[in-house]
Structure 1
Amino acid sequence: MIKTGIVGGAGYTAGEMVRILLGHPQAEITWIVSSSHAGQPVYNVHTDLTGDTNLTFSEKPDFETVDVIFLCMGHGKSVSFINENQIPEKVKIIDLSQDFRHKAKARDFVYGLPELNRPAIVKANKIANPGCFATAIQLAVLPLAASQLLSEIHIHAITGSTGAGQAPSGTTHFSWRNSNISIYKAFEHQHLIEIGESLVQLMPDFDQPVNFVPLRGDFARGILASVYLDCSLSLDEANQLYDDYYAKAAYTSRSDEPINLKQVVNTNKCLLHLEKHNGKLHITSIIDNLTKGASGQAVQNMNLIFGLNEKTGLYLKPSAF
C-alpha cells in the first residue's frame, strides 16, 4: 500500500483528495494535517465523508510514516512549507498550488500534465500539479502545438464556484453567485503563464497571443472552455490529429457529438469536441475542476510515479442526472 499524507486538509481539493484516496485499492491515508482543525474528525469539515472515515486532523506531519504527500494549501504556502520542513528524500511531493508550476520557480518539480509530460512524471520525485483552467485549455490545443499548427488563440472558459476555494468571499456566497455570471481577470489570468510554457515546449516558435477571458458560473463544479483559432485542417483531418495524439491518454478523448459538463463532473475525464467554421477550428473542452483539474489529476500522477495503472482508484461515475 502507498502511504499518503495530506497537508492543508480543510479545503475543497483536500476533501476531494480524501474521497478519492478512501476508494483507492492500493493507497491509504496515514494522516491529514489541518492546524485550524487539529483533533477534530475529518467528517466535521467534509460532511460528505460522514460514515466513510474516522480519521481526525493532525496538527503536524509525520514524514517518516508516508511515501507521498499532497500539498493542498493556498498559493504561496507550499514554498514556505517546504522551506520550513526537512522532508526526507524518499517522500514524494505532489503540490496542488501554483508555487512550482512555472519554469522560473520549478526547482526540481516536474509539471504534472500526463498528456504532455508522462515520461518525466513516471521518473519524478516532485510534481507541480497543473491549474484547473490550464488543464482544460492545454488539452484543447496540445495536438495542434505538437503539429506546429497553432495560431492566435481565443478562449472563453467558465468555471464553477469551487474553483475559488472554500473560504467565503464576495463573489462566492450563494446570494451573489446564484443566477449570476461574471468575467474576471480577463487577458491576465495567472494560468496563462503555464499554458504558454507548455505550448512553447511543443512548438518552440509559437509567439502568438493567447486571449483568455475567464467567467464565473452559477454552478458548483466543472469547467467548460470554448477555444477557437485559424486552422487550415479540414474537420476530418483535425479529428484524426486529436485521435492520434490522445490515442494512449487514459482520460482525454474526443467526442463526435456536442458535449456538456454533466458528462465529466465527478470524474477525472476531459472530453473534447471539434467543429470547423469558415476557416476557424472551434474546440470545446470540459473537465471537473476538482478532479481532472486538481485532486484526480494529482492521484493520476501518484499512480504514474509508483508504477500503477494511472486509472487506479479513479473509476468515477459522472453526475449525469
Structure 2
Amino acid sequence: MIRAGIVGASGYIGGELCRILLGHPHLELVAPVSRGMAGRRLDGVHPNLRALTDLAFVGPDDAPDCDVLFLATPHRETMAMVPRWAGRAGCLVDLSADFRLTDPEVYERYYGTAHTAPELLPEFVTGWPERYRKDLAGADRISVPGCMATAAILALYPLAAAGLVEDRVSVDGRIGSSGSGSGAGPMNLHAERSGAMRVFAPAGHRHEAEVAQATGLTVSMSATGVEAVRGAQVLCRATLTAELREPELRRVYRDCYGAEPFVRVVAQRRGLYRLPEPKILSGSNFCDVGFALDADRGQVVAVAALDNLVKGAAGNAVQCVNIRQGWPERLGLEFPGLHPL
C-alpha cells in the first residue's frame, strides 16, 4: 500500500480526499492533518465517513512521513508550506493556486501578493491528465488546476488546439456554495445565499489566467455563485475562424476526448440533459463537455460541467496519482453520480 496524507483534511476538499482514499485499493490514508482539529475523529467533521474509519486528525508536528501528500491548503499560504512538507513525502500534490501559474508576475496580478517561492514553479507538473499524462507519470510535484478553470480548459482546448476559434473568448462561470470552502464568511450564510445568484466576479476572475495559460487564448472570465451546494458550469463564447457545421464540430470533440476515461461529450438536440449539467455529476470525477453552434453569427458556445470538489479538485488529484503510479486511472473514482438528485 502507498501511504497517503492530507494537509488541510478538515475542509471540503480535504473531506473529499478522505472519502476517495478510504475507498482506494492501493492508497492508505495514514495522515489526515489539521492544526485546528487535531485529536478529533474524522467522522466528527465529515459525517459521511461514519463506520468507514476510526482515524483521527493529527497536528502538523505529529504527522508521519508519507509516500504521497496532498496539500488541500489555502491560496497564498501553501507556497510557504511546500519547503516544509517537501521532505516528508515522495510525491507532493498541491490543490491550491500557488503553483498553477508559471509566471510569478501573473500570479501576483491575480492573487494580490508576490510569489515567495518562484524557484519551485518549474518543479510542478500541471495536473491536467488529458494533456499532461506522460509528464504526470513519475512526477514528484503536481499542481491541480482550479475547478472552473478545469471545466473551461476542457471545453475550449479542442477548439483552440485545432485553430478553430479567434483569440478572444469569454467565459461565464457558475459555482455552488462549496466552492467558497468550509471557512467561508458572512456572504455564504444560508440567509444571504439562499435564492441568490450573486455575481461575485463580474470581470477578471482569477481562473482566467489558468485558462489563458492552458489554451493560448485571451480570456475574459466572470463568475456567479448559484444556490447549488456542489457543481460548476461554464459557458465559453468564441468566434469561429471558419465556417463549421455541427457534425464537424462534434468530431473535433470526439477526436480529442473519445478515449478519455473522465471526459464525456454531451451535446444533444433534445432532452432534459442535452448539455452538460453539474447536478447529475455530484460525487463523480466526470467532466461533461458540449457545445451549441450559432452558424449564422459564426460563433460557438462551449459548455462544460463538473463537481467542483471531485473532478474540480480531489478526484482529479487522485487521477493524477493513479497515472503517476501506473495504475488504471479509474481506480477509486468509479462512482458515476446520482439521478435523480
Q: One-letter code of the match for 2:158?
A: P
- Deviation of 1:148 after TM superposition, in Å, equals 1.9
Q: One-letter code of the match for 2:283?
A: N
3-state SS of 2:185 partner: coil
3-state SS of 2:289 partner: strand
Contact 1:12 1:166 in 2 (8 A): yes
Q: Aligned partners of 1:308, 1:170: CA distance in 2, in Å?
A: 43
3-state SS of 1:69 partner: strand
Corresponding residue number in structure 1 for 2:250: 239
Q: Aligned partners of 1:138, 1:82: CA distance in 2, in Å?
A: 26
Q: One-letter code of the match for 2:178?
A: T
2:127 is matched with which residue: 99, 109, 112? 112
Corresponding residue number in structure 2 for 1:139: 154
1:201-220 deviations in whole A, cap 9, x for unaligned?
xxxxx4xx412111000110
Range with bigger deviation, 56-65 or 3-12: 56-65
Q: One-letter code of the match for 1:269?
A: F
3-state SS of 1:171 partner: helix
1:189-229 deviations in whole A, cap 9, x for unaligned?
111111111112xxxxx4xx412111000110001111121
3-state SS of 2:233 partner: strand
Corresponding residue number in structure 1 for 2:108: none
1:160-202 deviations in whole A, cap 9, x for unaligned?
00000001312211111111111122221111111111112xx
1:100 aligns with 2:115: no
Cα 1:255–1:61 change in 2 (3 A) is farther
1:68-94 deviations in whole A, cap 9, x for unaligned?
000011112221112334615x61000
CA root-mean-square deviation: 1.6
Corresponding residue number in structure 1 for 2:220: 211
Contact 1:8 1:32 in 2 (8 A): yes
1:59 aligns with 2:68: no
1:276 aligns with 2:310: no
Contact 2:20 2:332 in 1 (8 A): yes
Specify every segment of 5 or more residues in structure 2 that has no aligned partner in the other structure, as ranges. 104-117, 269-273
Corresponding residue number in structure 1 for 2:111: none
Q: Aligned partners of 2:290, 2:336: CA distance in 1, in Å?
A: 20
1:22-41 aligned within 5 A: 22-41=22-41
Contact 1:155 1:228 in 2 (8 A): yes
Q: Aligned partners of 2:290, 2:311: CA distance in 1, in Å?
A: 17
Corresponding residue number in structure 2 for 1:199: 215
- Deviation of 1:64 after TM superposition, in Å, equals 6.0
Q: Aligned partners of 2:223, 2:184: CA distance in 1, in Å?
A: 20
Corresponding residue number in structure 1 for 2:201: 185
Contact 1:42 1:57 in 2 (8 A): yes
Corresponding residue number in structure 2 for 1:161: 177
Q: One-letter code of the match for 1:116?
A: R
- Deviation of 1:271 after TM superposition, in Å, equals 0.7
Q: Aligned partners of 2:44, 2:15: CA distance in 1, in Å?
A: 11
Q: Aligned partners of 1:263, 1:311: CA distance in 2, in Å?
A: 18
Q: Aligned partners of 2:63, 2:57: CA distance in 1, in Å?
A: 15
Q: Aligned partners of 1:263, 1:87: CA distance in 2, in Å?
A: 40
Contact 2:31 2:58 in 1 (8 A): yes
Q: Aligned partners of 1:236, 1:47: CA distance in 2, in Å?
A: 46
Corresponding residue number in structure 1 for 2:4: 4
What is the aligned residue count?
313
Q: One-letter code of the match for 1:190?
A: R
Q: One-letter code of the match for 1:176?
A: E
Corresponding residue number in structure 2 for 1:319: 338
Cα 1:196–1:281 change in 2 (3 A) is same
1:73-129 deviations in whole A, cap 9, x for unaligned?
1112221112334615x6100000001001124230011111121111113111000
Q: Aligned partners of 2:201, 2:279: CA distance in 1, in Å?
A: 26
Q: Aligned partners of 2:260, 2:195: CA distance in 1, in Å?
A: 36
Q: One-letter code of the match for 1:91?
A: G
Corresponding residue number in structure 2 for 1:203: none
- Deviation of 1:253 after TM superposition, in Å, equals 1.6
Corresponding residue number in structure 2 for 1:250: 261
1:304 is matched with which residue: 323, 327, 336? 323
Specify every segment of 5 or more residues in structure 1 that has no aligned partner in the other structure, as ranges. 201-205
Q: Aligned partners of 2:330, 2:98: CA distance in 1, in Å?
A: 26
